[in-house]
Amino acid sequence: MSLAFVSKGRLGLILISIIFAFFLLVCRLFFLHVIESDRLESFANDVRKSHRVLSSNRGDIFDINGNILAATHATYTIGVDPNFLKAGDKSKWHHLSFILNMGYEELVAIMEQKVRKSGRLIRWSPLAKNIDLKTYEAVKKLGIIGVYGNRKNQRIYPGNDLAAHVVGFVNHESIAVSGIEKMCDYYLKGQDGWIETEKDGRRKELAHKRSREILPVNGNNVYLTIDQRIQSGVERVIESVVNIYNPEGVSIIVSRPNDGAILALANYPTFNLNEFNNTKLYPILNQKNRAISDIFEPGSTFKIVPASAVLNESIIQINDIFNTGESFISYKNQKLRLPNDHKDYPSLSMKEIIVKSSNRGAAHLGMHLGEDRLYKYAKLFGFGSVTNLGLAGEISGSLKCKDEWDSLTITRLPMGHAISGTPLQVHFATSVIANNGILMQPKIIHEISTADGDLILSYPSVVKRRVINKDVASKMAHLLELVVSEGTAKKAQINGYCVAGKTGTTQKIINGAYSNKYHVASFSGFLPVENPKVVITVIVDAPNMKSGFGYGGTVAAPAFKAIAEECIRYLQIKPSHYSKAWIAKRNIKPQ
């Protein structure tokens, strides 16, 4: 180059500018390839690579007859990639806002926001959630490039509040919260699959770049022992009880005595499984399964324990007479005050103690047993221990060790005081009498199978233990039959059927003292006596009586009768018939 036309200063400036430009280029390359390498690589992978989840279907929950109690329904979330929209599709936005039932201005604001505050491009913005298949198909038909939907499985409960405390629910984060949904979550939830692939510049999948594809495995189906027909009948009866007495709570349980299978379990208050998060309409407390997590003093329903015990130990015979007219008694060198009865009885036989539900007579039975045997039989009948039904929230109740008893416990425990239990414990204690003296493991799951119907698990009946011998159970069944035919539970009588059961009326403990206003009314019984098919327990917490007293025979026994009559029709239970041998086996002398 000739220096005649370019000065040395100008040439130097040009060279410096060129060098500086190359320096800036090197710095920029260093910044992009070294300092920003990880971020840019991640961004490139986000744009190029795709990881798509293939959702599995959660298994369904059925009743014993195959009626669906919980199922999975596919829904879609409609969203947009604002950076992939085409100007030619903007005329379709009005139609999109109409289909999604959202304001046009709101839609435009989402569609036109292409960059986040952090400076990163927006690749996904949701427009509408929980859209059904029909709406999703209408959106697809518009053909707006950049607008697409993601499939999501949503849990639905066709019965709404039917068996709500048994079935339980799955929340919006797909977490099983309660009931069978939680108990069997391992089997129900299934396993999601996924696809790892790459996309081209138009965000279309490059099939030959698909590196991994794992197919989803759907969850298994759970079949319960619950019978929807009986469950519905129980819930109708609860509704009737609530309308009449406006109680604080109700629990009703129906089961088969021979295998422990629960046919119905319902509580009040309850809630709609499809609206579990609507706490204004259904407070959180409504989700409490009172049948397994509420405790109360069982009262006179507990009298079957000392009565069965004295017969099983051959301490007392059915026709032995007791002095029930005295208020005090000497026991182990102590003078103890006996509990009061609702009516004065100078003397009662052991049979009459049960039929007339005498508190004072029950105290005599307890003292004949003594602390050791009374505690032993209370445990044998299932009090003080969880039943292991399997549903979350079950508690054991309270049965103090005999070392913690005070001097009056021996006279109060036999009448169902100084002890607390759940409705389920009371129910299965009664089942011991109906099942020839054997305590069964409560069973609420019948079987688990695959979506194709292949059996995975079958839940057999489990015998926990023999509590009393068969002959004693037979005699106790006859005594409980007399409670219904002659005693405190006449409102549980059903024409043509021999019904057995025991009423209970317990004062609630309010602020550490027995209340004269609030009571728990209960009845637990079975039928027919000669061959029991169902055991039914009704617990009504604090019935609001317009007049009279909230006795178990007044409040709970009629509810038992209504459910029993429903079971007779549905299960086709044959009427009772006695044989002379059956009567003689009980060795009951005429009074």
Nearest to 295 by CA among 431, 425, 427, 413: 425
Sketch out the chain's domains with CATH numbers: 51-84+123-224 (3.90.1310.10), 228-271+287-585 (3.40.710.10)
Distance between CA 540 and CA 559 in Å, rounded?
Answer: 10
Q: Is 9 helix (H, G, I), strand (E, B) or coil?
A: helix
Start-to-end C-alpha separation, the chain? 141
What's the whole-number mean pLDDT along residues 66-92?
90
Tell me: pLDDT of 282 over 80: yes
pLDDT in tens, 233-278: 999 999 999 999 999 999 999 999 999 999 999 999 999 999 999 9
Tell me: pLDDT of 52 over 80: no
pLDDT at position 589: 42
Q: Is 444 helix (H, G, I), strand (E, B) or coil?
A: coil
Q: Is 525 helix (H, G, I), strand (E, B) or coil?
A: strand
Tell me: pLDDT of 194 over 90: no
**354 Cβ neighbours under 8 A, 6+ residues apart:** 303, 304, 307, 479, 480, 482, 483, 487, 502
Distance between CA 587 and CA 472 in Å, rounded?
Answer: 11
Average pLDDT score over the chain: 89
Tell me: pLDDT of 66 over 50: yes
Please name the helix (run of DSSP H) or strand (run of DSSP E) that holds residue 53, with its range, or none: strand 49-54
Distance between CA 165 and CA 254 in Å, rounded?
Answer: 14
* Strands in 412-477 per DSSP E: 438-440, 445-449, 455-458, 463-466
Distance between CA 477 and CA 271 in Å, rounded?
Answer: 37
* Strands 249-255 vs 534-541: parallel, antiparallel or unpaired: antiparallel
What's the whole-number mean pLDDT along residues 419-429?
97
Answer whether 67's CB lies under 8 Å from 141's CB. no
Rounded to the nearest 5 degrees, what angle is found at the Cα of 95, between the Cα atoms of 94 and 96?
90
The region of weakest confidence among 45-49, 142-146, 340-344, 574-578 is 45-49
- Bridge partners (DSSP) listed for residue 128: 78
pLDDT in tens, 26-37: 888 777 777 777
pLDDT in tens, 447-457: 999 988 999 99
Q: Is 493 helix (H, G, I), strand (E, B) or coil?
A: coil
Model-level pTM? 0.83
Structure tokens at 205: 């999948």
Distance between CA 201 and CA 514 in Å, rounded?
Answer: 77
pLDDT at position 186: 94
